[in-house]
Amino acid sequence: MEILKQKMSQFQQICISRIDRIGDLIISTPAIKAIRSNWPNSKITLLASSINSKVLKNSKLIDEIIIIKHEDSLIKKIKILRTIQKRKYDLFINFSPTNLSYFLCLFSFANKKGVIIYLSRYKKYFSKLFHRLILQLTCDYVDIINRQLLFKTKKDMHQSQMMLNLIEKISKKSFRDIEIQIPVNSVLEGKIKNVFTKKIITIHLSRRWINKYYNINNFNELINKLLQKNQYVFFLTTEKENDENFIEITKKFRPLELNGLNEENTKNLKTTNNNVFILDNYKYSDWISVIKQSKHIITPESGCTHIAAAFKVPVTVIYNSDNAPDYIHKEYGPWKSIHHKLIFSDSCNINDEINNHLD
């Protein structure tokens, strides 16, 4: 009887929706690990976006990925919904705070549904009122996150923990010391170790560098300062091949594609005096392989911070003072890892802070 009871309580098929950005999926992996740990024999399907689907490709945490593109036609999205409905999942968990993701959860025909609703960081008294009314009536496990209250009372409000809390509510178990887990290409790692004997500093060229407190000239000055540190090799990673903010900078340095490294060009790299390389056009596998082998990462707040956290690489994270930096840091800061927090503002000399921190 006890065995039958356990079998009945087991979720045989689980669907997880995370159809947004790379960083959002990365910080969801502690919760996905908890799901895999608690229901090890379940088939886990991940609904992912075209942007973040590569994060858990070949990962043991999930069994299948269904890609949903936001630019897809309504007909195509309805077809995906019909596929979800036909499977009649035992459990549907929605981690994405998007209307499309809530819609898929609501009409999934899943036996049990779990959702997180994040209320506004700002003083909006009716924040997500419609979502709260509908989802509390139709879903079995609902966590409403009052970010203003959590911030005011100095409670843990990191989104990784919020997702773990939902899984604890569903499983009625506690999960501790769960870290981010993402797969990395061991072949590319080996090539990096073989070629570069100096310590690596990775600088991510996010468009968030450029704001009213910091311009491209400031960034050029930073690069020139850092290049005087001959004990390092620098990798500049870009988000877009032709980002007009950084195109003049990236033209100065040698682009490098790790997959293209062979015995001949490896010898050339070992003998060159060049200590700056470009990883261009956002090649994800190259990006995370270099980050894992880095001594330090420098980046504005972005998915790059979460990759650094996954591999326990110290990171300098820079937030914008006009975009609730303390909120963002508490919600999205590097999960359980060493980091140096800076804020773009009139009162902070970013270049000196970064330069001194690396000394």
Which of 110 and 120 is assigned the larger pLDDT?
A: 110
Domain ranges, residue 151: 8-171
- Structurally, the chain folds into a number of domains equal to 2
Same domain assignment for residues 98 and 134: yes
CB distance 23 to 288 below 8 Å:
no
Q: Highest-confidence range of 11-20, 180-189, 250-259, 270-279, by mean pLDDT? A: 11-20
Same domain assignment for residues 20 and 43: yes
Answer whether residue 181 is part of any domain.
no
Answer whether residue 178 is part of any domain.
no
- What percent of the chain is predicted at pLDDT more than 70? 91
Is the pLDDT confidence value at 321 over 50? yes
Last residue of a domain, one of 171, 201, 232: 171
pTM over 0.85: yes
Same domain assignment for residues 199 and 159: no
Is the pLDDT confidence value at 7 over 50? no
Which CATH number characterizes residue 310's domain? 3.40.50.2000
Same domain assignment for residues 80 and 190: no
Answer whether residue 199 is part of any domain.
yes
Same domain assignment for residues 301 and 337: yes
Mean pLDDT of 179-190: 92
Q: Which of 23-27, 119-123, 260-264 has the lowest mean pLDDT?
A: 260-264
Mean pLDDT of 297-303: 95
| Three-class secondary structure assignment of 80-95 | HHHHHHHHCCCEEEEC
Residue 121 amino acid letter: R
pLDDT digits (tens, 9 = 90+) for 243-256: 788 888 888 888 88
Answer whether residue 229 is part of any domain.
yes
pLDDT digits (tens, 9 = 90+) for 125-168: 667 888 888 898 999 999 999 999 999 999 999 999 999 999 99
Q: What is the mean pLDDT of the chain?
A: 90
Answer whether residue 179 is part of any domain.
no
Is the pLDDT confidence value at 174 over 70? yes
Residue 348 confidence class, pLDDT cut points 50, 70, 90: confident
Answer whether residue 220 is part of any domain.
yes
Answer whether residue 70 is part of any domain.
yes
Last residue of a domain, one of 144, 171, 198: 171
Is the pLDDT confidence value at 23 over 90? yes
Same domain assignment for residues 164 and 272: no
Contacts of 263 (CB under 8 A, 6+ apart): none
Q: Which of 69-73, 120-124, 205-209 has the lowest mean pLDDT?
A: 120-124
Same domain assignment for residues 167 and 242: no
- A 10 A CB-CB count for 117 gives 19
Q: Given this model, what pLDDT does residue 247 score?
A: 84
Mean pLDDT of 194-207: 91
Same domain assignment for residues 237 and 133: no
Same domain assignment for residues 65 and 158: yes
Last residue of a domain, one of 128, 146, 171: 171
Is the pLDDT confidence value at 1 over 70? no
pLDDT digits (tens, 9 = 90+) for 301-310: 999 999 999 9
Q: For the stretch 330-346, what's the b/e string if a residue is b when 16 or more beta carbons lie within 10 angstroms of its beta carbon?
A: bbbbbbebebbebbbbe
Same domain assignment for residues 32 and 104: yes
Listed residue (197, 193, 278) closest to 239, CA to CA? 278
Distances (CA, A) of 216 to 119, 206, 209, 222: 35, 12, 8, 10
- What letter would DSSP give residue 132? H
- A 10 A CB-CB count for 134 gives 12
Same domain assignment for residues 237 and 331: yes
Q: Which of 74-88, 117-131, 143-157, 345-359 has the lowest mean pLDDT?
A: 117-131
pLDDT digits (tens, 9 = 90+) for 257-292: 787 776 556 655 655 567 888 887 668 888 999 999
Same domain assignment for residues 225 and 253: yes
